[in-house]
Amino acid sequence: MIIIMLGAQGTGKGTVAGLISEQIGIPQISTGDIFRKNISEKTPLGIEADKYISKGNLVPDEITVPMVDDRLTWEDAKNGAILDGFPRTIEQAEKLDEILQKNGKKVDLVINLVTPKEEIIDRMLTRRVCTNQDCKATYNIKLHPPKVEGICDKCGSPLKQRADDSDPEAIKRRLEIYEEKTSPLVEYYKNKGVLRTEEVSLSVNRMGKDVAEDVVRDIRNNSL
Ligand code: ADP
Ligand code: ZN
């Protein structure tokens, strides 16, 4: 089963993807995480990608698409994957369709998370990530705090704020790019009949874990 997470920054894509991944046993593939791991290890891919990421711009498709294509061939993804952060443009969505088609697969479900604008910036500023690149758990100091302040529940490593989450210019740029380049994907997947839109907001008291629970239940009931 191929699941795609859609939604602006700070809507909780990573959290929802992580919970679904744990419960149905398919890997979460986050392009942002793969880039950050490469940046911290100073690989050639990381050094190149950081030029774009630090400014809040998209990494070019020539780098991103082959990276996803390769990741989907790993053994752990033979029964499917949850893509978090890819595709981000119509071009990437079309390329993903080609990649999946060549392996006899298709996009089965697109979870589109929607959060009011007022909440989004706040959620980005209060987001924290595990510094252990093999763990990468994400937290929110207000909504989903770790049990011990500043320490990852899962692996005990220190948490930190992402560089691009602490730079207001980069945040603004990322939200603009989302509106312009990524939001057309909602229509793209609606037309394919695979879109499931879910509101995540304090105002309706619905959080990422509630969405993950509902989706996992529906998958188990085979009603998707
Ligand atoms: P967010 O969605 O919060 O901006 P991500 O972790 O998904 O964070 O991505 C971080 C950065 O990595 C993005 O701002 C972008 O520069 C780059 N990136 C991630 N996924 C892609 C993609 N599919 N195409 C191009 N760039 C990407
Ligand atoms: Zn951790």
Ligand 1 contacts CB of residue 31 (under 6 A) = yes
Residue 86 pLDDT: 98
Q: Could you tell me if the CB of 174 is within 6 A of ligand 1?
A: yes
**pLDDT band for position 210 (50/70/90)?**
very high
Q: What is the pLDDT of residue 98?
A: 97
- Please pick, among 71, 105, 123, 127, the residue that the annotation labels catalytic: 127
**Can you give the pLDDT at residue 27?**
97
Percentage of the chain exceeding pLDDT 70: 99
> Per-residue pLDDT for 168 more than 90?
no
* Confidence at 110, pLDDT banded by 50, 70, 90: very high
Q: At residue 224, does pLDDT exceed 80?
A: no
- Name the average pLDDT for the chain: 94
Neighbours of 165 (CB within 10 A): 20
Spatial CA neighbour of 123 closest among 147, 112, 146, 139: 139
**Catalytic position from the list 37, 162, 173, 181:** 162
User: Could you give the CA distance from residue 22 to residue 19 in angstroms, rounded to a whole number?
Assistant: 5
Specify the pLDDT at position 144: 87
Token digits of residue 127: 């987001």
Tell me what the mean pLDDT of segment 167-173 comes to: 88
Query: How many A from CA of 52 to the centre of ligand 1?
Result: 9
> Which residues have a Cβ under 8 Å from the Cβ of 82 and sit 6 or more positions away?
3, 4, 5, 17, 20, 21, 26, 27, 28, 29
pLDDT for 136 equals 86
Per-residue pLDDT band at 223 (split at 50, 70, 90):
low
Cα–Cα distance for residue pair 58/212, rounded to 1 Å:
27
CA of 80 to the centre of ligand 2 (A): 24
- Burial (CB < 10 A; 0-12, 13-18, 19+), residue 135, is middle
Q: Ligand 1 within 6 A of 86 CB?
A: yes
Q: Which two tokens stand for residue 137?
A: 């758990």
Which residue, by CA, sits nearest to atom 15 of ligand 1? 58
pLDDT at 166 over 70: yes
User: Which residue has tokens 């050094």?
Assistant: 47
Quick one: average pLDDT of 122-151? 92
Burial class (CB in 10 A: 0-12, 13-18, 19+), 209: middle
pLDDT at 111 over 90: yes
Helix axes 31-40, 44-53, angle to 10 degrees: 120
For residue 65 and ligand 1, the question of a CB distance below 6 A is answered with no
Question: Taking Cα atoms as reference points, which of 112, 133, 122 lies closest to residue 165?
Answer: 122
Cis geometry, peptide bond prior to residue 87 (ω within 30 degrees of 0): yes
Which ligand neighbours the alpha carbon of 129 most closely?
Answer: 2
Q: Could you confirm whether 71 is annotated as catalytic? A: no
Query: What are φ and ψ of residue 140, in 5° steps?
Result: -135, 120
Split at pLDDT 50, 70, 90, the class of 117 is confident
Quick check: 138 and 18 in contact, CB under 8 A? Answer: yes
Positive or negative, the CA dihedral 8, 10, 11, 17 is positive
Q: What is the pLDDT of residues 32-72, one digit of tens each?
A: 999 999 999 999 999 999 999 998 999 999 999 999 999 99
Q: How far does the centroid of ligand 1 lie from the alpha carbon of residue 174, in Å?
A: 8
Domains assigned to the chain: 2-116+181-220 (3.40.50.300)
